[in-house]
A and B are shown apart, each in its own frame.
Chain A
Amino acid sequence: MIQDKLYDVLVVGGGNAALCAAVTARERGASVILCEHAPRGLRGGNSRHTRNLRCAHDEPTDVLTESYGEDEYIKDLLRVTGGITNERLARMTIRESKFVTPWMYENGVRFQPSLGGTLSLSRTNAFFLGGGKALVNAYYARAEQLGVDIHYDTEVLSLDIQDGFFSGAEVDSRGFGARVRAKSLIVAAGGFQGNIEWLKEAWGPAAENFLIRGTPYNRGRMLRQLLDNGADPIGDPTQCHAVAIDARAPKFDGGIVTRLDCVPFSVVVNQACERFYDEGEDVWPKRYAIWGRLVAQQPGQIAYAIIDSKALDLFMPSVFPPVEAGTIEDLAGKLGLDAAKLRGTIDGFSGALRPGSFDSTKLDDCRTEGLDPPKTHWARAIDTPPFYAYPLRPGVTFTYLGVRVDEKARVQMGDGKPAANMLAAGEVMAGNILGKGYLAGTGMTIGTVFGRLAGEEAARYVNA
């Protein structure tokens, strides 16, 4: 039951950003209520699917190898975003990222020991022991211990906002309507990728065929409420971060295991058995994020990555077994494709191959000539049965549209002024820093830094 009392802070959301905010505000003496739409067993939003966060550091730490300076970090960020970032906020986030891992540790999060440079990411990213769900568990335990009022199965439906001033919210708690009164608001409710209708506004009916990699509970209700009440939007409303994942993944919450790393070693065709992009343009970590959009643009939003037995062991095992057949024609049959057409595409591809020496570990010289589109690396004949296929669909990670904030996490209103008692953290404001593209591990960094800032600012506001 939600108590009829005036809380200092209402935190909307139950992922990383919300928890960092709730813990910080409570540590500073504020009374805090946290409303999480998901039931307890599915708490934690997209944060439960994460694995690491990106931190600047000047020397090796117990969880990060070598060094990763602020300058290098900002350079990486500017590169992936093409400069579409609020550089002041970005630099502040990166500076703060130096201090987050000890704070996380104090609040119960455990890390994997750094892997001595074997994994290139352990220089830039700290890995959570057990992944994001273990992190979320630790923060919930900490929040409970501090006395945060946590309500699961509780969706915040609407916010009472008058002239940019927040006074309370209508919620649905386990099927019962209730009102939460609070002196300040922290919105940490993620993006809107769980809301297919909203995705359709930008993508049309194609969005019906998108798979959502994370939680079904991020439906953008809070984002819409803030924008309708005069908050200043940021980020391209038509864009989402989408990768190509296994088409057999569940509609929601498939998480990391549905990813497929086979594309560079495949021939990828659409339903019409036609190739549509250079599969070997670059190493997969640099290309996986464009393939979501590429597949989304194909008829039926589906594509098929086809390999032969030579390539089967070249990439991380994936969770669904490939479709297998002894001949290309049989494979086409199993995929529901036109056998003659698929044969034609494979033959055309094989006929265009240039001799080269195959090396899966670097950009090799195996390529096609006179083929459109070309395959510029790792191009080898598909000729050794059995043949395998993985069906691909776009898997949405997050959306870019959010609310503009300042360096205290205060929501910026359309008139250019910060709201007095409304703050935002995490995915809902990540567009301030990630206007475009994505740099692995920054989602959690932004959520942690801004969650803590929002918690501090809310406590400062109510204590003033």
Chain B
Amino acid sequence: MSTLETTPSLVALAQGLEADTLAEARRTMEVCNACRYCEGYCAVFPAMELHRQFSDADLVHLANLCHGCKGCYYACQYAPPHPFGLNVPRTFADLRRESYEAFAWPAPLARLFQRNGLFVSLATAVALIVTMALSTLLISPERLFGVHRGPGSFYSVVPYDVMVWVATLTFGFAVLALGMGLRNYWATAGRKAIGWKSLALALHDALTLRHLSGGGHGCNDTDEGFTQGRRWLHQAMMWGFLLCFASTSVATVYDHLLGWIAPYSWYSLPVLLGTVGGVGLTVGSGGLFWLKLRTDPEPLSPRNLGMDAGLLALLFLVATTGLALLFFRHTSAMGMLLVIHLGVVLAFFLTLPYGKFVHGIYRFAALVRDHADCRAGDSA
């Protein structure tokens, strides 16, 4: 019935997870399982109903299946001031953060999740200082502040080899660390067999943010009222991010395989993808940040605010510096803008596996398991 027999206890597996949070999550799910009033809101409750007891792994799975819409907080007759004091979104947010920490690779870096806002802002500051210091030291002022036109203009400021190597190393490491984290996650909170169908269904859910519609009526973005704001902003941010990623990938192909040297014209594929993506990313991350400022803090985990805000701020900076570079690339500001943009992107790559970004990976894994569980009709 539960994954208890097949997977090791999470507490034993990863010391990062605090027993208190697990105990609170277990108590919460036991109350919910006797109530079930919220079963229409999201996938968490139907998944919960497959169990009578909750192993640590089950709780981690459920926590990562929760996307924090807060519907079940405002609807809960046991929320504070009721003596049961249930707060599902906050409890799950705490457990999620602890699970990010528990699964982080390499393990010594897991600690970066503890004061994540501080870590992300320091990393960004350091990356910016280093790139700017190096560029003022190594690049002559004429080149850094000159006007450059035509193919190769970026590389006349920052040499091609440096860009390629730094990007490959940092991004490559991020991908490796994220992959290892996913492996750790799946070994604990995943399941043995999954079909292609589950994978496809999960992909569909993720790309459409199906669950963020809160059973069709939106989320409790800031208070008891239901709105679709968070869903659309997140959608803009996610697709913006993917488009920017696509833009970079296409540019890499142009550059390395076809020998077409950047920058590209306004109407080229990389620039079009990057512009639309950058706007989406700016609007999405800025909007979500603004929602965070206005929202009722009760159902949120105060310990996660730094982590949440950190990623939003970084994405916002990546997008806005990228757009600025695009619009002013033919002016003398290009050199500095390029350096700043590269510094921010560097910070983004460095913090990728040790920040809120991992939620996308684990949540996707949780969706895959959920589809597989539902198709199997149990959770074994």
Q: Which residues of A contact B (CB under 8 A)?
A: 39, 41-42, 48-49, 51, 110, 112-113, 127-134, 137, 140-141, 250, 253, 255-257, 259, 313, 316-319
**B33 located at the interface, meaning its Cβ lies under 8 Å from any Cβ of chain A in the complex:** yes
Could you pull out 20 A-B pairs where Cβ atoms are within 8 angstroms? A41-B80, A48-B77, A110-B215, A110-B217, A113-B40, A129-B217, A130-B37, A132-B77, A134-B71, A137-B75, A255-B35, A255-B77, A255-B78, A257-B31, A259-B34, A317-B30, A317-B52, A318-B34, A319-B30, A319-B31
**B74 located at the interface, meaning its Cβ lies under 8 Å from any Cβ of chain A in the complex:** yes
Q: Considering the chains assembled together, what is the distance between the CA atoms of A319 and B34 in angstroms?
A: 6
**B225 located at the interface, meaning its Cβ lies under 8 Å from any Cβ of chain A in the complex:** yes
Residue among A49, A110, A128 with most chain B CB within 10 A: A110
Indicate which residue in B37, B72, B216, B224 contacts A51 across the interface (CB closer than 8 Å).
Answer: B37
**B185 located at the interface, meaning its Cβ lies under 8 Å from any Cβ of chain A in the complex:** no
Chain B: how many interface residues by the 8 Å CB criterion? Answer: 29
Indicate which residue in B75, B81, B217 contacts A131 across the interface (CB closer than 8 Å).
Answer: B75
Q: With contacts defined as CB atoms under 8 Å apart, how many contacts are there between chain A and chain B in the complex?
A: 78
With A41-B80, A112-B215 known to touch, is A134 a contact of B75 (CB < 8 Å)? Answer: yes
Q: Which residues of A sit under 8 angstroms from B225, Cβ to Cβ?
A: 141
Q: Which residues of B sit under 8 angstroms from A259, Cβ to Cβ?
A: 34
**B39 located at the interface, meaning its Cβ lies under 8 Å from any Cβ of chain A in the complex:** yes
Q: Which residues of A sit under 8 angstroms from B37, Cβ to Cβ?
A: 51, 128, 130-132, 256
Q: Considering the chains assembled together, what is the distance between the CA atoms of A129 and B74 in angstroms?
A: 12
- Determine if B217 and A137 form an interchain contact, defined as CB atoms under 8 angstroms apart: no
What is the 8 Å Cβ interface bit string for chain B, positions 272-314, against chain A (1 contact, 0 not)?
0000000000000000000000000000000000000000000
Considering only residues 188-234 of chain B, those with a C-beta below 8 Å from chain A are 215-217, 224-226
Q: Considering the chains assembled together, what is the distance between the CA atoms of A128 and B77 in angstroms?
A: 13
* Shortest Cβ distance from residue B217 to the other chain A in the assembled complex, whole angstroms: 5
With A42-B82, A137-B74, A255-B78 known to touch, is A131 a contact of B38 (CB < 8 Å)? Answer: yes
- Determine if A141 and B224 form an interchain contact, defined as CB atoms under 8 angstroms apart: yes
With A130-B38, A257-B35 known to touch, is A42 a contact of B81 (CB < 8 Å)? Answer: yes
- Determine if B215 and A316 form an interchain contact, defined as CB atoms under 8 angstroms apart: no
Q: Which residues of B sit under 8 angstroms from A132, Cβ to Cβ?
A: 37, 77
- Determine if A313 and B52 form an interchain contact, defined as CB atoms under 8 angstroms apart: yes
- Determine if A317 and B33 form an interchain contact, defined as CB atoms under 8 angstroms apart: yes
**B361 located at the interface, meaning its Cβ lies under 8 Å from any Cβ of chain A in the complex:** no
Q: Considering the chains assembled together, what is the distance between the CA atoms of A259 and B37 in angstroms?
A: 14
With A129-B40, A131-B37, A317-B34 known to touch, is A137 a contact of B224 (CB < 8 Å)? Answer: yes
Q: Which residue of B lies closest to A127 (CB)?
A: B40
* Shortest Cβ distance from residue A102 to the other chain B in the assembled complex, whole angstroms: 16
Q: Which residue of A lies closest to B71 (CB)?
A: A130
Q: Considering the chains assembled together, what is the distance between the CA atoms of A49 and B79 in angstroms?
A: 12
Considering only residues 56-113 of chain B, those with a C-beta below 8 Å from chain A are 71-72, 74-83
Residue among B33, B34, B38, B72 with most chain A CB within 10 A: B34
